[in-house]
Amino acid sequence: MSPSRFAATTLALLAAVAAATPHQVGAATTPAPSNPLATQQAIIEYLRDPGASGRQLLDAARQDGTAVSPFHELLLADAAARAGLYRTAAAWYADVRDRDLGPQFTSAAEFGLALSALARGGFDEARDHLAAAGAADTAQQPTADFGTTLLDAADGAAAGQGVAATSATDPALAEAASLVGAYARYWAGDMQGATNAFMAFAIAHPDSRYTDDALYASATAKRQAGHETEARDDLEALAGDGHARGRVSPRLLELDPRAVLREGMRRDRELPVRTVSRRLADLLDGDGVRLAQAALEDRSSGDDAADPAPRRKGHRRAAKPVSDQAANDLAAPPVASAPAPAPARGTQAAPSAAPAPRFPWATLAVLVLLALLGSYLLARRTQPRPSGRRR
């Protein structure tokens, strides 16, 4: 879906879904008669194109009154999440979970609650819902383990390196498992290990949808490790001749874990309806080429705006955040000045002469002009006035 179309449909959903909660769908005083065929058609259209069919799905729920099927309710929660209304989506998911409709529906609702919490930045809450999803349906335990390991890696735990063994049974997760291990090294601060892991993934999976992300992450890890020239060469090879589309946040360029997952959740709102395992794997499927282009443009603009004085050359961003003044102090070598000649033995050093004041030529010119103007006006005033009589 194009960005303009997605924005238009999102605005339409904001007004429709924001006021709807699981207990308010059938709140109309005179509900319309139930139409199962219209409901089925609305569900089919939503599965085919969720970005353009959310309002139709909600209208069908209002026509059915309180008899909303759990599958329909899960889709309503998905529509609310696509509109950015994650708390409303969580209310729908919680309603399905509390209806106790069996392990599959309970697990699906818990996964929805986990993703809604993740979109709001609640990692601990998301972990709890992932654990509940795996406990409700043991068949979904590998997916829950993958999500939990991804969150642990984002928190800097190196345990994400062993996720491949638990995700081998799901094709959607198996490909992304080794990439999670590489990110775990990067987020734990092991830049050399992360570089090797990302490059190993790119070599082993040259046609993967994650290859561009692995190449960008490898270049970023090299730069963090101090290999500036090699990192820039890798970024230029990945970026090609194109230019980055739109603005990219500095935290995403640095592969901050929360920025990476937040960007993944933003993309999730624009993608079709998918299985939970595929949604979790898609969180790491970014646009490495765009990031490489944005990183090169950001560094080029920074070089153009930098002070050309020699003390600014060779400045490199420190691995740990420091203040602007401290960064300048670290980057600027002391400026050597020519030594002053030593005074002769037995003589006292003369005090340094104060700089000679400059003559105020501009002030003098203004005073002269004012004096001339005053003389002219005074001369005109003292001239005799001509007689007003006519002969």
In this structure, the number of other CB atoms found within 10 A of the CB of residue 27 comes to: 13
Q: Could you give the CA distance from residue 205 to residue 58 in angstroms, rounded to a whole number?
A: 42
Q: Is the pLDDT of residue 349 over 70?
A: no
Distance CA 329, CA 212 (A): 36
The DSSP secondary structure of 70-113, one letter per residue, reads HHHHHHHHHHHHHTT-HHHHHHHHHHHHHT---HHHHHHHHHHH
Answer for the pair 46, 54: CB distance below 8 angstroms, yes or no.
Answer: yes
Q: Give the type of residue at 324.
A: D
pLDDT, position 161: 52
For residue 352, pLDDT over 60 is answered with no
Q: Cα separation of 175 and 98, whole Å?
A: 34
Provide the residue type at 267 as one letter. Answer: R
Q: What is the mean pLDDT of residues 147-167?
A: 74
Average pLDDT score, the chain: 78
- The DSSP element (H or E) to which 311 belongs, if any, is none
pLDDT score of 66: 55
pLDDT score, position 141? 93
Q: What pLDDT, in 10s, does the model give residues 283-296?
A: 999 999 999 999 99
**Alpha carbons 328 and 330: distance in angstroms, whole number:** 5
Predicted pLDDT of residue 346 = 46
Cβ of 341: how many Cβ atoms within 10 Å?
A: 7
- The span from the CA of 222 to the CA of 147, in Å, is 27
51 pLDDT exceeds 80?
Answer: yes
- The model's confidence at residue 109, banded by pLDDT at 50, 70 and 90, is very high
Q: How far is the C-alpha of 197 from the C-alpha of 179, rounded, in Å? A: 8
Tell me the pLDDT tens digit for each residue of 292-331: 999 999 877 765 555 444 433 333 333 334 334 444 443 3
Which of 126-135, 314-323, 345-354 is least confident? 314-323
Q: Would you tell me how many other CB atoms lie within 10 Å of the CB of residue 138?
A: 11
C-alpha–C-alpha distance, residues 257 and 187, integer Å: 7
Paired tokens of 382: 């003292």
